[in-house]
Amino acid sequence: MRRCFLLFPLIGYVAVVSAAGPGDLALSPDAAAPPLAVDTQDASTLAARTPAEEESMMEQGRQGVRAITEGVARTVDGWFGDVPFEEGGKVSGSVRFDFLARQDEGLRNNFRFRVRMDLPNVKRLGYLFIGQDNEQEEVTDQPEAFTRQHQLLAESRRDDQSFFAGVGYALREFLEFRVGFRGGVDDVYAQARYKKLWRFSDRDVFGLRETIFWRSDDGFGSTLALNYDHAYSPSWSFRWQAVGTISEETSGLRWGNSFGMFKAYPNLRESGLEALVSGETDRRVGVGEYGIRATWRQPVYREWTFIELSAGHFWPQDDDDPERRRSWAAGVMVEALF
């Protein structure tokens, strides 16, 4: 638990620096949050703390991050009008630490965060968002199941990840527009997202999400994501997911499919077993890789700090690519919500 507490001072610092420079949970703001706690004691003192003291510190750390984030939101909102922040203002976000061990690649780690700010005075313009994540996946709007993180693929902080920020506006509950920048202010992107759910019965749900995107350096593209869920019981379900992305920078369609069984347990615990296949058209080998992945997710502190364990085995089909080898992979993700 001591490690979880250390997440919050770091994300607080990043959030302030990022917002001062140039998403989507909904938690009520906590205006009375105490200031961020700074721990200057050594390891021997930390080890001597009681569980109650650790719990109090973790709560203070989380509330401190919310207070810092909300303070930035109030300041920005005040630039656009005099409506009190309490009249519809909200801040929410998450911070993740990922650790990946893939055969022949060693251990890698990454840091991600997302913050969403709903501002009363900016409501006519939409909401603000900031974060750090895989820049290509952010722009092309990839479903979480097909991100490199969840497919246990290594990422480079320097080459794959970047800071992003922008403004979003929901025209209807099914239509949303976002404009932002990634990396530097000259690297602009825009998205128009349409999403729709069809409930055929109490047990069957089909979803569609289409995102048309544009980025200043690569031009236009589109991502289509489909998913189908069938509930066998209140705790067991089958899920099929598919995604396809095409853009001016790709020679064909990048696609992926996932077929999996998921089980929910009491106290927000869940497990999953999925079969994965992905590839790209207009290549010598159309199917790029097969794989299987097992996951377990549960809270480790209250209902806002989670750990997710993943393990998988992958079979690449292009033997001429030296970077794609048959391999085992395992991942650990720690996520804190605020």
Highest mean predicted confidence (pLDDT) among 79-88, 128-137, 232-241, 323-332: 232-241
Residue 119 has pLDDT above 90, yes or no: no
pTM: 0.74
Who has greater pLDDT, 151 or 125? 151
What percent of the chain has a predicted confidence (pLDDT) above 90?
34
d(CA 55, CA 96): 20
Q: State the pLDDT confidence band at 319, using cuts at 50, 70 and 90.
A: low
d(CA 146, CA 141): 10
Residue 205 has pLDDT above 60, yes or no: yes
Give mean pLDDT, residues 9-29. Answer: 35
Q: Which has the closest alpha carbon to 289: 247, 244, 321, 252?
A: 321
Who has greater pLDDT, 79 or 195? 195
Mean pLDDT of the residues in the chain: 79
d(CA 123, CA 332): 37
For residue 142, the tally of other CB atoms under 10 A from its CB is 21
Q: What pLDDT score was predicted for residue 142?
A: 93
For residue 59, the tally of other CB atoms under 10 A from its CB is 18
Give mean pLDDT, residues 26-33. Answer: 33
Q: Which residue segments constitute the domains of the chain, with CATH numbers given? A: 92-337 (2.40.160.40)
38-78 tens-digit pLDDT: 333 343 443 455 555 556 677 777 777 778 888 888 888 88
Q: What pLDDT score was predicted for residue 28?
A: 32
Contact 264, 235 (CB under 8 A): yes
Who has greater pLDDT, 245 or 186? 245
Q: What pLDDT score was predicted for residue 18?
A: 36
Residues forming beta bridges with residue 209, ordered by sequence position: 195, 225
DSSP secondary structure of 8-70:
HHHHHHHHHHHHH----------TTPPPPP-----HHHHHT--HHHHHHHHHHHHHHHHHHHH
